[in-house]
Amino acid sequence: MCGILAALLGDADTHVNQLIVDGLTVLQHRGQDAAGIVTCEKGHLNLRKDSGLVSEVFQHHHMLTLRGNLGIGHVRYPTAGTSSCAEAQPLFTNYPYGICAAHNGNITNTAELRAALVQSLRHINTGSDSELVLNVFAEELQAQHKGRDICPTDVFEAVRKLMARCHGAYGVVMLVNGVGLLGFRDPHGIRPLVLGTRNSTTQAGVTDFLLASESVAIDTLRFSLVGDVGPGEAILITTEGKLHRSQCARSPQLMPCIFEYVYFARPDSIMDGVQVYEARLNMGERLAESILRKYPQHDIDVVIPVPDTSRTSGLSCAYTLGRPFREGFIKNRYIARTFIMPGQAVRMKTVRMKLNTIRSEFRGKNVLLVDDSIVRGTTSRELVSMAREAGARKVYVTSAAPAVRYPNVYGIDIPTRIELIANERDEAQVAAELGADWVVYQALEDLKTSIRKINPSIQEFDASCFDGRYVTGDITDEYLVELQGGRGKKQGHQQQQAEVLRGRAERKMVSETSEKHKTWNAHDGNHSASNCANGAPAEAGAAAPAGMGPGAASVSTRLSSACAEKKLGGSCEVLFNLGRETTK
Ligand SMILES: O=P(O)(O)OC[C@H]1O[C@H](OP(=O)(O)OP(=O)(O)O)[C@H](O)[C@@H]1O
Ligand SMILES: NC(=O)CC[C@H](N)C(=O)O
Ligand SMILES: [Mg+2]
Measured between alpha carbons, how far is 297 from 291 in angstroms, rounded to an integer?
Answer: 10
Measured between alpha carbons, how far is 285 from 313 in angstroms, rounded to an integer?
Answer: 7
Instruction: Report which of 408, 407, 404, 401 is spatially closest to residue 443, judged by C-alpha positions.
Output: 401
What are the residues whose beta carbons fall under 8 Å from the beta carbon of 445, sequence distance 6 or more? Answer: none
Q: Is the ipTM of this complex over 0.95?
A: yes
User: What pLDDT was estimated at residue 492?
Assistant: 54
Cβ of residue 84 lying under 6 Å from some atom of ligand 2 = no
Query: Ligand 1: residues within 6 Å at CB?
Result: 263, 306-309, 337-340, 371-380
Average pLDDT per consecutive 10 residues, the chain (584 residues; last block may be shorter): 96 97 98 97 96 97 97 95 89 94 97 96 93 97 84 97 98 97 98 98 97 98 98 98 98 97 98 98 98 98 97 98 98 92 84 94 98 96 97 98 96 89 97 98 98 97 97 92 77 48 42 32 26 25 29 33 33 38 30
3-state secondary structure 564-579: HHHHHCCCCCEEEECC
User: What pLDDT was estimated at residue 363?
Assistant: 98
CA dist 530 → 291, 330, 387, 492, 568 (Å): 47, 32, 33, 19, 17
Would you say the pTM of this structure is higher than 0.80?
yes
Query: Domain spans of the chain?
Result: 3-254, 278-457
User: What pLDDT was estimated at residue 489?
Assistant: 65
Our mutation pick for probing the ligand 1 site, out of 27, 77, 260, 263, counting the most ligand atoms within 8 A of Cβ, is 263
Architecture of domain 278-457: 3-Layer(aba) Sandwich (3.40)
> Beta strand pairing status for 355-357 and 329-331?
antiparallel
**Residue 118 alpha carbon to ligand 3 centre in Å:** 41
**Residue 380 alpha carbon to ligand 1 centre in Å:** 9
Write the CATH number of the domain with boundaries 3-254: 3.60.20.10
User: What pLDDT was estimated at residue 81?
Assistant: 86
Cβ neighbourhood burial of 555 (10 Å; 0-12, 13-18, 19+): buried
Our CA angle for 239, 252, 87, nearest 5°, is: 55
Pick the residue whose CA is nearest to atom 8 on ligand 1: 339
What are the residues whose beta carbons fall under 8 Å from the beta carbon of 156, sequence distance 6 or more? Answer: 234, 236, 244, 246, 248
**Residue 102, helix vs strand vs coil:** strand
Same fold yes or no, 3-254 and 278-457: no
Cβ of residue 106 lying under 6 Å from some atom of ligand 2 = yes
What are the residues whose beta carbons fall under 8 Å from the beta carbon of 148, sequence distance 6 or more? Answer: none
Measured between alpha carbons, how far is 244 from 562 in angstroms, rounded to an integer?
Answer: 42
Measured between alpha carbons, how far is 342 from 350 in angstroms, rounded to an integer?
Answer: 11
